[in-house]
Structure 1
């Protein structure tokens, strides 16, 4: 009997995941912060994100992430060691949620070519997902910001924002007879931003996320804050 119940549960979970409505645009609400300690090469940075499958009312994820950052002297690069806590939901009426603890190491490498502001981000994650074996993941993100009405990303500047991020899984066997593909997902984003002042800027745009089994559009609203 217990095996029948387990099979029914797995089928229900699988069915819920298979019902991702690819035509329904979701929404991500994001706050990014950074702070450099006074007269120091160290600082903190992180982000808090609420992601919804349909805009509001059907939670996709709640992500809370923070880390300690280090910027070497006379070097245009930043290293971060951090921790993230992730709560994930299932699309639809189900209230089922799963939790994940995540340790990550990150390298940010900005570049500038005229008006083009490029940033390369390399991130390595160690993931402790509920009811799964230890997992790891590799991520590479290329960001591009281009000011429109000014030459720099200075106060009152409008700008075009683009990024593309590739996710690669470190393992395929994740326990309990579950496997994943080496390719995890890809995200492509296009939006517009506004620099309010030297410490705050806002962005709004559209992101398309693709996995091996589904693809979905997301509206993104973000605030970027230098504390």
Structure 2
């Protein structure tokens, strides 16, 4: 009888604990972003990136990601990047359960063009992901549209779909929109919103605050 009583108490406690677990899909998170483009010659450049992604605004960091890539310009509208990314991710929300590291190799093909005053950008990305003794292969396609408001301000909207070569093909989708402000030819600021839909998990709402640095080392 005593063992049965302890078992009931344990099961009740576990059920209560699971019911009280916070739901990360109901929280408004934030991404603090740095993106860099550094032209070395007429054809070659470097792409750099660092993102600090939080489950909540200013609290409970979900992921750090840093990228560094070598970029080659075929012409003014087409360029390609090959690079490496490092990630440190906390899969849990509001629980100190440990992080894991991930390494990625990625390949981008970027194509841009204009329709009147509308700027269109296509990004085709292949990713090889190495984490937890597992290798994943992903393909991502992003369509982005930008429109100038005046000499300083512009607005943008984009959608990016992730395809997984293992398991179900559809993995996740990112949809975002926002504004950019040009401080100078070197520095731009960004503020926007992103809706992330992850297959079989749900939706995540994220504020995006970023800075973009563009440098030209040919001079």
TM-score, L = length of structure 1: 0.81
Deviation of 1:208 after TM superposition, in Å, equals 0.4
CA-based RMSD: 1.7
Post-superposition offset of 1:20: 3.8
Query: Is residue 53–residue 60 contact of structure 1 (8 Å, CA) maintained in 2?
Result: yes
1:219 equivalenced with 2:207 (yes/no): yes
Q: Distance in 1 between matches of 2:51 and 2:96?
A: 21
Contact 1:186 1:209 in 2 (8 A): yes
**1:37 aligns to what?**
40
Q: C-alpha separation between the residues in 1 aligned to 2:22 and 2:102?
A: 22
Out of 153, 157, 178, the residue aligned to residue 191 of structure 1 is 178
Partner Cα separation in structure 1 for residue 81 and residue 117 of structure 2: 27
* 1:76-225 → structure 2 map (5 Å cutoff): 76-89=77-90, 90-131=92-133, 133-150=134-151, 157-172=152-167, 181-212=168-199, 213-225=201-213
The answer to whether the 8 A contact 1:106-1:122 is kept is yes
Q: Which runs of 4+ in 1 moved over 3 A?
A: none
Structure having the higher Rg: 2
Query: 1:75: Cα distance to partner?
Result: 4.9
Conserved in 2, the CA contact under 8 Å of 1:20 and 1:214? no
Question: C-alpha displacement at 1:61, in angstroms?
Answer: 0.5
**1:49 and 2:51 correspond:** yes
TM-score (norm 2): 0.84
How far 1:149 moved relative to its partner?
A: 2.3
Higher alpha-carbon deviation: 28-37 or 18-27: 18-27
Q: Secondary structure at the match of 1:22?
A: helix
Q: How many residues align?
A: 195
**Deviation at residue 93 of structure 1 after TM alignment:** 2.3
Any unmatched runs of 5+ in structure 1?
1-14, 151-156, 173-180
Q: CA deviation at 1:211?
A: 1.0
Question: Which structure shows the higher strand fraction?
Answer: 2
Name the CA shift for 1:167/1:51 in 2 (closer, same or farther; >3 Å). same
